[in-house]
Structure 1
Amino acid sequence: MGEYSALGDNVDCYSMDRISIGSKVAVSQRAFLCTGSHDTRSLRRPLTTAPIRLGDHVWVAAEAMVMPGVEIGEGTVVGARSVVTTTLPAWMICAGQPCRVLKPREITMEA
Structure 2
Amino acid sequence: MNTQEREHQLPRTTDVRHRFPLRIQVARVIWGIAFVLFYRPFAIRLFRKWRVLILRLFGAKVSWSATIHSNVKIWAPWNLEVGPFSCIGPEVDCYNQGKIVIGANSTISQKVYLCASSHDYTSPSHPLTLNPISIGSRVWVAADAFVGPGVMIDDGVVVGARAVVVKSLDSWKVFAGNPCKFVKERKFI
**Normalising to structure 2: TM-score of the pair?**
0.56
**Can you give the 5+ residue segments of structure 2 that lack an aligned partner in the other structure?**
1-81
Between 1:79-88 and 1:41-50, the stretch displaced more is: 41-50
Counterpart amino acid of 2:121? T
**C-alpha separation between the residues in 2 aligned to 1:42 and 1:51?**
20
Q: What pairs with 1:63-78 in structure 2 (closer than 5 Å)?
A: 63-78=144-159
Q: Does 1:6 align with 2:90?
A: no
Is the radius of gyration larger for structure 1 or structure 2? Answer: 2
After the TM superposition, which parts of structure 1 deviate over 6 Å for at least 4 consecutive aligned residues?
Answer: none
Question: Who is 2:164 aligned against?
Answer: 83
The alpha-carbon deviation at position 101 of structure 1 amounts to 1.0
Question: Who is 2:178 aligned against?
Answer: 97
Counterpart amino acid of 2:162? R
Question: Who is 2:59 aligned against?
Answer: none
Q: Does 1:35 align with 2:116?
A: yes
Query: How far does the alpha carbon of each residue in 1:55-106 deviate from its partner, in whole angstroms, 9 at most, with x for none?
Result: 1000000000000110101000000010000000000000111111111001
The alpha-carbon deviation at position 22 of structure 1 amounts to 0.4
**Can you give the 5+ residue segments of structure 1 that lack an aligned partner in the other structure?**
none
Question: Who is 2:131 aligned against?
Answer: 50
Counterpart amino acid of 1:8? G
**Normalising to structure 1: TM-score of the pair?**
0.94
Counterpart amino acid of 1:44? S
Query: How far does the alpha carbon of each residue in 1:25-84 deviate from its partner, in whole angstroms, 9 at most, with x for none?
Result: 000000001001111112321101111011100000000000011010100000001000
Comparing both chains, which one has the higher relative contact order based on Cα–Cα distances under 8 Å and sequence gaps of 6 or more?
A: 1
- Higher helix proportion (structure 1 or 2): 2
Give me the identity figure in percent. 47
Query: How far does the alpha carbon of each residue in 1:1-43 deviate from its partner, in whole angstroms, 9 at most, with x for none?
Result: 1111001100011111110000000000000010011111123
